[in-house]
Amino acid sequence: MEEKDKILDIKDLDVSFRTSAGTVHALRGVNIDLYRGETVAIVGESGSGKSVSMKAAMGLLASNAVVNGGQILFRYKNEAGEIEEADILKKDKKWIRRNINGRHMAMVFQDPMTSLDPTMQIGKQITEGIIAHLGVSKKEAEERAKALLEEVGITDAEKRMRNYPHQLSGGMRQRVVIAIALSCDPDLLICDEPTTALDVTIQTMILNLILKVQKERGISVIYITHDLGVVAKVADYVNVMYAGKIVEVGNVNEVFYEPAHPYTWGLLSAMPDLETEDSRLYTIPGSPPNLLHEPKGDAFAARNEYALAIDEKEHPPMFKITETHSAATWLLDPRAPKVEMPEELKRRIERMRKEAE
C-alpha cells in the first residue's frame, strides 16, 4: 500500500480579530491533520472557531483578522499530476483565489446565500467556474452543470438553471452550492454545516453523494457539523473544538464510545436521542468563554464539574490515549484522581454498543 499522503496540515494556528470592543482571540493554537481520501469532522460549540479555522485554510479570513502564528500546509495535485505544497498563510489572497479556491479546495458554507450571487441565474453560476477552471466550451459546461444538478437531486434541472437563488428553497440553494463545489473536481472539499438546512432524507442523499464522489475521485473531506448523527455516518476521524483549541481528537469510534474530555461528555449527553423522555434536555452549564477576555488555564474549567485545581492555572497539554486518540484534560494526567464519565452517558453508550452488535 501507498504511504498515507497528508493533504492538509494545520499547525499551531493562532488567529485574533480586532473589534471595537477589543481583540477576540478566536484560534489559540489549532492543530488538524488530514490524509488523502479521508474524512475528518470538526465538532464543537458555536463560536469555538470551526469556521474561522477553515476560512483560514482557504485564505478567506476577514480583513480584521490577525494571524499571530502557525502554518497551514496544503498538498495538492497540480495539472501534471504531481504533488505540490503551498503554505496558505504565506501566499497572497489573489494567488490563492486564482490557483487554489474552487479548483483544488472547495468550500460549502453554512449559509448558502453567502456563496451565491443573488442577481445571477444559478445555471450561470455553475458554468462560470467550470469554464474558468476546466477551460471547456459553454455548451459542455452547461451539460456538466445539468448533470451535476441532477446528481444532487434537483428535479427539472434544465428549468431550474434559469432560476435566481431567491426562487429556490433553502435546501435547494445548498444543493446548488454543493454542485458548484464538486464541479471542478477538487482535492479537498470543506463542508461547513452542509446539511443543516436539509431534511433527513435529502441529507442522507447528499451525504451519500459526497461519499460516492469521494471514493471515485479520492478526495478528502472536512465536515463541520453540529449533528453527531452525521459525524457518526461519515467521519473517519473527529476533532472536538472548544474556545479556539482542539480538545479531543480520535477516530470516530474512540470519540463516540470512549470519549475522554468532559466537554465531549457534555456534547454527547446533550443530544436528544429518540428515547429521551425527560422534560428538559441536558445542557452544559454556563456559556462558552468570551474570547475578548481570554481565560487563564483550561478554558472549559468554569463549566466543568470535574475541574481540578490546576485547571484554573494552566491549560492542559494533549494527553495521548492511543496512537490515534488524544485529549487535552488534566484528568488524564497520571497524578489526577480517577474520574469517570457521567452514569447517564455511560448507559447511553452501552445502549449504543448493544445496538451495534
Partner 1 sequence: MAADYSAEPILKVENLSQYFKVSRDFTVKAVDGVSFEIYPGEVYGLVGESGSGKSTIGRAVIRLYTPTAGKVSFKGREISGKLTNEARDELRTRMMMIFQDPMASLNPRKTVGDIIGEGLDIHKMYATKEERKEKIDNILKKVGLSPEHYNRYPHQFSGGQRQRVGIARALIMNPDLIIADECISALDVSIQAQVVNLLKDIQEETGSAYLFIAHDLSMVKYISDRIGVLHLGHLLETGTTDEIFANPVHPYTRSLISAIPLPNPEVEKKRVSETYDYYTSGIDYNVGSNHLIEGTHYVFGTDEEIARWTGKAGA
Ligand X SMILES: Nc1ncnc2c1ncn2[C@@H]1O[C@H](COP(=O)(O)OP(=O)(O)OP(=O)(O)O)[C@@H](O)[C@H]1O
Q: What torsion, rounded to 10 degrees, do the Cα atoms 210, 216, 217, 219 define?
A: 40
Phi and psi (nearest 5°) for 214?
-60, -45
Question: Quick one: 172 or 188, whose CB is closer to ligand X?
Answer: 172
User: Could you tell me which of 58, 40, 8, 30 has the C-alpha nearest to residue 230?
Assistant: 40
Using CB under 8 A as the binding rule, whether residue 71 contacts partner 1 is answered as no
Question: Quick one: 168 or 268, whose CB is closer to ligand X?
Answer: 168
Q: x/- contact string, 38-67, with Mg ion (CB under 5 A)?
A: -------------x----------------
Using CB under 5 A as the binding rule, whether residue 170 contacts Mg ion is answered as yes
Residues 218 and 216: their CA atoms lie apart, in Å, by 6
Question: Quick one: 174 or 183, whose CB is closer to Mg ion?
Answer: 174
User: Which one of ligand X, Mg ion, partner 1, none is in contact with 352 (Cβ closer than 5 to 8 A by kind)?
Assistant: partner 1
Pairing relationship of beta strands 105-108 and 188-192 according to DSSP bridges: parallel
Q: Calculate Rg over the CA atoms of the chain.
A: 21
Sole window of 45-53, 81-89, 259-267, 320-328 interacting with ligand X (rule: CB under 6 A): 45-53
b/e burial code for range 46-76 (CB count within 10 A of at least 16 → b): ebbbbbbbbbbbbbbbeeebeeeebebebbb
Residue closest to ligand X, measured at CB = 171
Strands of the 6-19 sheet, one edge to the other: 22-35, 6-19, 65-77, 83-87
List 287, 312, 317, 347, residue binding partner 1 (CB under 8 A)? 287
Phi and psi (nearest 5°) for 89?
-70, -20
Using CB under 8 A as the binding rule, whether residue 114 contacts partner 1 is answered as yes
List 178, 219, 238, 291, residue binding ligand X (CB under 6 A)? 291
Residues 11 and 261: their CA atoms lie apart, in Å, by 21
Residues 116 and 39: their CA atoms lie apart, in Å, by 26
How many chain residues touch ligand X (CB under 6 A)?
Answer: 25
Using CB under 8 A as the binding rule, whether residue 215 contacts partner 1 is answered as no
Q: x/- contact string, 54-93, with ligand X (CB under 6 A)?
A: --------x-x-----------------------------
List 48, 127, 195, 304, residue binding ligand X (CB under 6 A)? 48
Quick one: the chain helix, strand, coil %, rounded to 5?
35, 25, 40
Longest dimension (CA), the chain: 68
CB distance 56 to 67 below 8 Å: yes
And the C-alpha cell for 208? Answer: 451519500
Using CB under 6 A as the binding rule, whether residue 50 contacts ligand X is answered as yes
User: Which one of Mg ion, partner 1, ligand X, none is in contact with 137 (Cβ closer than 5 to 8 A by kind)?
Assistant: none
CB 312 to ligand X: min, Å: 22
Using CB under 6 A as the binding rule, whether residue 51 contacts ligand X is answered as yes
Sole window of 165-173, 201-209, 257-265, 314-322 interacting with Mg ion (rule: CB under 5 A): 165-173
Sole window of 144-152, 180-188, 261-269, 336-344 interacting with partner 1 (rule: CB under 8 A): 261-269
Using CB under 5 A as the binding rule, whether residue 167 contacts Mg ion is answered as no
Using CB under 6 A as the binding rule, whether residue 116 contacts ligand X is answered as no
Using CB under 8 A as the binding rule, whether residue 355 contacts partner 1 is answered as yes
Mark out the alpha helices in the chain (DSSP H runs): 50-57, 93-99, 122-134, 138-151, 157-160, 170-182, 200-217, 228-234, 252-257, 262-270, 343-356
List 28, 38, 49, 222, residue binding ligand X (CB under 6 A)? 49
And the C-alpha cell for 332? Answer: 488524564
List 67, 73, 113, 136, residue binding partner 1 (CB under 8 A)? 113
Using CB under 6 A as the binding rule, whether residue 25 contacts ligand X is answered as no
- List residues near ligand X by CB under 6 A: 17, 19, 24, 26, 44, 46-52, 62, 64, 110, 166-172, 197, 199, 291
- List residues near Mg ion by CB under 5 A: 51, 170
